[in-house]
Structure 1
């Protein structure tokens, strides 16, 4: 080939076409599909009841506001605070018996709550409901992470794609659950509780039939040495603190955001639409975002970028607060915060879950997965109290939101170094 002057031009080599992307779900083994569908069902059953519990306790049962808060706090403590215990039980006894036990307790707890009228009875029911999750959630989450590593090692693609599907399924359940519960409330709260119990009965039956009694590669560990070694694992504890900072920021959907929405519109009616926006973003965009991050970012950079996006969300509201916009215009900063927080969540959560198998000891993945949630929950508990006090102070309107933006920014420095190298050279802790 020559140009207009007769000179020979070098031949262009055709670019090799990119291999077609595999559909992740299509290539998943049956066990991973079961775990992902389980996460969807868990959240449908749970969120069919939880969003309506406070109103039921306050109106139908007549509890004082402080008692309603105490009951909800006890549920959170019995769940999040005991995740490490549930994870230890998974390592010792295996996934199947712990999941089945948790489902039985959740069915009993929802049934009990539907008929509970006395305060002591309600407290007993919510403690049972919380402890049930402390059993089955670490079991399902740790096995999903372990299977995602196996899937990656077999050459199917990054483990984060599997964990992104897991997160999207959970968010879809959190979106569908309140819709189901709202329909059932047309009958009464007891019907919603019994329907939630019915969902967990289906999960129980499915796992009793489909969950293997022995999962290849999963070793049952005995002894107590794991806790001591874990507490000396600085990189894992740094991950817990960084993840806890994210969860504290995410918890502002229930603390700072309602305050902002009420300031802008005079009521909290628009809050449900903002929650729906967050859920739909995760359901629709989680997989594309994870695929993009897997192509361009490592695990640590994905978490760092996610934390920066969360900080940017708080900053948007802080910048807009002095203008004191109201009405639809006043909702725009809140919507910006929700969108940026959700984008950060989509980058951060799969990456954090993907890092845990690389930081855990052999056979201790359940303990580490549960401890990640327990430590993060303690950070949220302490941080939420401080945030509530900050919002009550007579400060310039932007200051609380700037202080909240500083939390994820500081957490970027806590992220464990060398995470991406560890991701590329898995130590075998989850084989």
Structure 2
């Protein structure tokens, strides 16, 4: 075997995962950009119930992250990814065809379960390639997501003229395509030696440096989820929501090459700056800026800057803090706590919006304050902490054993 075969294997893995991201993201954003309008206008649901259904998806997804993240380390992440995409395909198909609360709950559970499986599978494959390709691979991965987030809402808006059922059907088809693409991965990270799901979760929970990072970065999921919820709940129509989603994604995509490549994303200042931007976006919404298009675009730009910084900051920080064969477990633990906060926050935001203008302003200001509090929290994760694996040998993705110690 030639010496450059591992490099070709890494390139193939990155190419397939980026293709999976393109199909999955197109399917996700085409449907989710307009789901609130569908639930509000087509099904006539109240704001509180809409918030509860969407928050339930988050709760299921991020509660399952705790065991599923470690499970992706132990099992084949390719099979995990195929199952994830299949579940989401069924979930989106249901979302466009059911009208009862029970049916929507089933759809939310399927979407949440699929998400819990999908993200550890895809990101474990990226985290398992050589470090010099990982940064560029993740940059391509996130840029593809953001480009899809620009294009997909426009696709969804065009299909929405026929009906949301067509939007959901197209989304289901794209997720089925992503399932097939997952099966094309040839190079799969090896399972961790010594221990299964419980051992992986325990290792992450005992890593004090990582757990502090998890606490500080917890609000990122709440900030990202609620940006897509509060704008339509504030009264924006489908066209304005599409403009908001596309501008946000375009700004994030333009920022990703600068943020994701190199060591910038690993610096605590990147996470801090991202939270300041999203906090400023919610504060601007609280002033009533969402009532006119120019203000909505300004909010989208702020959230675009924030999202463009936060996504690579979280990925690269976890990849640096986690042992190579424990990435899924570390991602799962962090996402579990983030999901609990996102569920509680999403439910509260929906209820506050039902109280009228005062409740709406209270919800938006509260989101801004949470973001600012996260930005102000002290950073103490420049390298590995004193977790369970901080003083034992670890394996690199290529199998060389190195000693884990403090990192520069």
TM-score normalized with structure 1 length: 0.74
5+ residue gaps in structure 2? 1-7, 386-392, 399-408
Contact 1:78/1:131 (<8 A) preserved: yes
Say whether 1:114 aligns with 2:76: no
Q: What is aligned with 1:232?
A: 206
Q: What is aligned with 1:205?
A: 180
| Distance in 2 (alpha carbons) for counterparts of 1:163 and 1:392 | 41
Say whether 1:175 aligns with 2:150: yes
Task: Quote how far apart the aligned CAs of 1:29 are.
Answer: 0.7
Q: Which segment drifts farther, 310-319 or 343-352?
A: 310-319
Q: What is aligned with 2:162?
A: 187
Deviations 1:240-270 (A, max 9, x none): 12222333444452466678x87xxx98964
Query: Aligned to 2:245, which of 261, 275, 299?
Result: 275
Deviations 1:148-204 (A, max 9, x none): xx142xxx6xx4332222111112222222222222222222222221111122222
Q: What is aligned with 1:80?
A: 62
Deviations 1:340-359 (A, max 9, x none): 44334323321321221332
Task: Quote how far apart the aligned CAs of 1:316 are.
Answer: 8.1
Query: Aligned to 1:31, which of 6, 13, 21?
Result: 13
Structure 1 397/193 Cα, relative in aligned 2: closer, same or farther at 3 Å?
A: closer
Task: Quote how far apart the aligned CAs of 1:372 are.
Answer: 2.2
Say whether 1:196 aligns with 2:171: yes
TM-score normalized with structure 2 length: 0.77
Query: Aligned to 2:113, which of 131, 147, 153?
Result: 131
Say whether 1:91 aligns with 2:73: yes
Structure 1 428/335 Cα, relative in aligned 2: closer, same or farther at 3 Å?
A: farther
Say whether 1:305 aligns with 2:264: no
| Distance in 2 (alpha carbons) for counterparts of 1:187 and 1:58 | 17
Structure 1 427/341 Cα, relative in aligned 2: closer, same or farther at 3 Å?
A: farther
Task: Quote how far apart the aligned CAs of 1:65 are.
Answer: 4.1
Query: Aligned to 2:369, which of 388, 403, 417?
Result: 403
Contact 2:247/2:304 (<8 A) preserved: no
* SS of alignment partner, residue 418 of structure 1: coil
5+ residue gaps in structure 1? 1-25, 421-425
| Distance in 2 (alpha carbons) for counterparts of 1:76 and 1:280 | 24
Contact 2:88/2:111 (<8 A) preserved: yes
Contact 1:357/1:430 (<8 A) preserved: no
Task: Quote how far apart the aligned CAs of 1:273 are.
Answer: 2.5
Contact 2:189/2:325 (<8 A) preserved: no
Task: Quote how far apart the aligned CAs of 1:98 are.
Answer: 0.8
Q: Which segment drifts farther, 344-353 or 273-282?
A: 344-353
| Distance in 2 (alpha carbons) for counterparts of 1:238 and 1:110 | 35
Structure 1 28/315 Cα, relative in aligned 2: closer, same or farther at 3 Å?
A: same
Tell which structure's C-alpha radius of gyration is larger. 1
Q: What is aligned with 1:245?
A: 219
| Distance in 2 (alpha carbons) for counterparts of 1:430 and 1:64 | 49
Structure 1 72/218 Cα, relative in aligned 2: closer, same or farther at 3 Å?
A: same
* SS of alignment partner, residue 187 of structure 1: coil
| Distance in 2 (alpha carbons) for counterparts of 1:172 and 1:32 | 17
Q: Which segment drifts farther, 170-179 or 380-389?
A: 380-389
| Distance in 1 (alpha carbons) for counterparts of 2:41 and 2:283 | 36
Superposed CA RMSD: 3.9
Structure 1 269/392 Cα, relative in aligned 2: closer, same or farther at 3 Å?
A: farther
| Distance in 1 (alpha carbons) for counterparts of 2:93 and 2:164 | 11
* SS of alignment partner, residue 34 of structure 2: helix
Contact 2:256/2:308 (<8 A) preserved: yes
Q: What is aligned with 1:45?
A: 27
Contact 2:266/2:313 (<8 A) preserved: yes
